[in-house]
Amino acid sequence: MKTDDIMRYQQQNPAVIPENMDTRQSIYGLTREGLEEWFAQHGERPFRAHQVWDWLYRQRVQSFQEMTNLSEKARELLDEHFQFNPLEVVKFQKAEDGTVKYLFRMNDHLLIETVLMYHEYGLSVCVTTQVGCNIGCTFCASGLIRKQRDLTAGEIVAQIMQIQHYLDEQDKNERVSHCVLMGIGEPFDNYDNILDFIRIINSDHGLAIGARHITVSTSGLAPKIREFADEDIQVNLAVSLHAPNNDVRTSMMRINAKYPIEELMDAIKYYMETTNRRVTFEYIMIEGVNDQPEHAQQLSDLLASKRRLSYVNLIPYNPVAGTNYQRSPAENIQKFHQILRDNKITATARREHGTEIDAACGQLRSNEMKRQRHKRTIRPRSNV
Ligand code: SAH
Ligand code: SF4
């Protein structure tokens, strides 16, 4: 079963919300300042937040009861208002190259996935930010169903924590050093939650994942790119460009009709001027659609004035059932790459990770959905 099948499955067979669903917020969703404020409002000293964060992100305990320097009263108060970990492991897969893929069930029984990849430079986790996606790119399995809901900041942080707990159990002293917001969903369509998420994992008192080690990928919501430029965080920005002109891009990405390339590039110019930071342009190579020499030349022209801060990432397309798109042959990718180089555009052709277990979003979820099919009932609420 391919990714688009899962997506349709989740649409047609909504998750069963358990009657006794835990509705408490996850403790992982609070920034340190947020927790300080919460303690103050509940008659405790804000300093408690420092202690709790130490237990959460340094000691990495998995229950409030283990926070032994907190009073019994404070622990009970926390337990009354917060749950610890909102994700239940449904499936775990490990590939030979070390790539690990988790399938998690959230409190309302919707399924999400998270991938851990080993790179020369460190351990990177790819997190999911939404269930489904409303952007509707024609090549992407996530876009084949409407968004069912945004993930909370706590649910996104918990993905990293689950992986970190797994690493802790291996006892190899490994830590998640990098994070990419490239799983299912459009991060800038869940803006406030991803911002909290970034602040939490980036904090020196939290997991201390360096801002330069965090990458947000967007399909190109131009106004949000401008807003992001003005935030006080220094993370990397990747833009899923995928085509060098409006005709091709709109055929692949509906969002381009709303924010055409000119508007997108203006927003990126603003981002570059404001932050002086490099932007990665993601470009999936699809045979006969966007991989021809003229596309490479158009892309070079488009980025010519932004050369200093542009970086192009050529990615082999991972075919999705139900679309007619095919992966570009290696020679098309090489030719394309060469044209960019001739135009002095910095580019790499990205290696794939976890193909053995299919690290592309959605695949793991699909098989589990199949098994759950017989259990389905109507999902009583919609968050769309
Ligand atoms: N919504 C955001 C981030 C999630 S998608 C975005 O679109 O940028 C992460 C990346 O995977 C994007 O660059 C997206 O275009 C790419 N992608 C989606 N489907 C793909 C597929 N089938 N093969 C290869 N890359 C894909
Ligand atoms: Fe959404 Fe990104 Fe997929 Fe487009 S590529 S449908 S924006 S997840």
pLDDT in single tens digits along all 384 residues of the chain: 334 544 555 666 666 778 889 999 999 999 999 999 999 999 999 999 999 999 999 999 999 999 999 999 999 999 999 999 999 999 999 988 888 999 999 999 999 999 999 889 999 999 999 998 999 899 988 767 789 999 999 999 999 999 999 999 999 999 999 999 999 899 999 999 999 999 999 999 999 999 999 999 999 999 999 999 999 899 999 999 999 999 999 999 999 999 999 999 999 999 999 999 999 999 999 999 999 999 999 999 999 999 999 999 999 898 888 888 999 999 999 999 999 999 999 999 876 544 544 444 433 333 444 444 444 333 333 332
Nearest CA to ligand 1 atom 13: 240
Residue 183 contacts residue 101 (beta carbons within 8 Å): no
Where are the extended beta strands (E) located within 47-164?
82-83, 88-94, 100-105, 111-119, 122-126, 130-131, 149-150
User: Any residues with Cβ below 6 Å from ligand 1, and which?
Assistant: 139-140, 182, 186, 217-219, 240, 282, 284, 315, 317-318, 320, 360
Burial class (CB within 10 angstroms; exposed 0-12, middle 13-18, buried 19+) of 91:
middle
* Centroid of chain to Cα 222: 18
Q: What is the structure's pLDDT at 357?
A: 46
Residue 18, Cβ density class (10 Å: 0-12 exposed, 13-18 middle, ≥19 buried)? exposed
Q: Whose CA is nearest to atom 10 of ligand 1?
A: 182
Relative orientation angle of helices 363-372 and 3-12, to the nearest 10 degrees: 40
Mutate to test the pocket of ligand 1, among 145, 289, 315 (most ligand atoms within 8 A of CB): 315
Q: Which residues of 33-67 are buried (b: 16+ CB within 10 A; e: fewer)?
A: eebbebbeeeebeeebbebbbbbbbeeeeeebeeb
Q: For a substitution probing ligand 1, which of 180, 217, 248 has the most ligand atoms within 8 Å of its CB?
A: 217
Domains and CATH numbers, the chain: 23-83 (1.10.150.530), 87-374 (3.20.20.70)
**What's the pLDDT at 141?**
81
- Dihedral over Cα of 220, 223, 224, 230: its sign: positive
Q: For ligand 1, atom 25, which residue shows the shortest CA distance?
A: 317
Beta carbons within 10 angstroms of residue 171's beta carbon: 7
Closest ligand by atom to 183 CA: 1
Q: Which atom of ligand 2 is nearest to the CA of 140?
A: 3
